[in-house]
């Protein structure tokens, strides 16, 4: 029974609080003091990340410009090769340290190519017009034949309608 009495006493002490028995509460502050070293470390990390982002963005833009210039150089080399081959110049001229083919030659070769392409387009267009005319003539012939057959059919139908079962 003494065991139960002890439990009851401890419960009664817990429920009936005596102000003198309670410990005073410690004052809590809303903020915690941060050492200056932690602030320095944090700011270094944040600034380093922002600087890294700026540098990586700059390097990406620089790489994009370099790729664009390389593409323009490759296009120029390809145009030079096409021009030399179109002019039927020996391939060895490319290796003879020719710096630049005169613009006049390039312009003339392009105009000749354009004229040839234009001639091909005109000839294709003319052939399409000829095909269209032939098809129109064929369709007119077929229409005439169909009309003739229809007339013949109507005549026969009138003539032999009474024999039709």
- Which tens digit of pLDDT belongs to each residue from 58-76? 778 888 888 888 898 888 8
- Which tens digit of pLDDT belongs to each residue from 6-44? 776 666 555 555 667 667 777 766 677 777 788 777 777
Q: Mind giving me the DSSP string for the chain?
A: -HHHHHHHHHHHHHHS--TTTSPPPPPPPSS----HHHHHHHHHHHHHHHHHHHHHHHHHHHHHHHHHHHHHHHHHHHHHHHHHHHTT--GGGGGTT-----HHHHHHHHHHHHHHHHHHHHHHHHHHHHHHHHHHHHHHHHHHHHHHHHHHHHHHHHHHGGG--
Question: Model's pTM, two decimal places?
Answer: 0.29
The domain segmentation of the chain, as residue ranges, is 40-101, 112-160
């Amino acid at each position: 029974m003494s065991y139960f009495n002890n439990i009851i006493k401890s419960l009664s002490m817990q429920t009936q609080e005596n102000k003198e028995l309670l410990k005073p509460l410690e004052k809590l502050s809303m903020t915690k003091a941060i050492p200056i070293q932690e602030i320095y470390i944090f700011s270094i990390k944040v600034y380093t990340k922002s600087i890294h982002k700026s540098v990586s963005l700059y390097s990406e833009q620089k790489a994009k410009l370099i790729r664009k210039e390389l593409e323009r150089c490759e296009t120029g080399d390809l145009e030079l090769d096409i021009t030399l081959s179109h002019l039927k110049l020996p391939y060895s001229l490319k290796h003879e340290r020719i710096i630049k083919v005169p613009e006049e030659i390039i312009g003339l070769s392009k105009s000749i190519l354009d004229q040839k392409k234009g001639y091909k387009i005109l000839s294709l267009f003319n052939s399409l017009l000829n095909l269209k005319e032939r098809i129109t003539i064929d369709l007119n012939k077929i229409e005439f034949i169909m009309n003739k057959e229809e007339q013949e059919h109507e005549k026969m139908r009138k003539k032999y309608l009474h024999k039709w079962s």
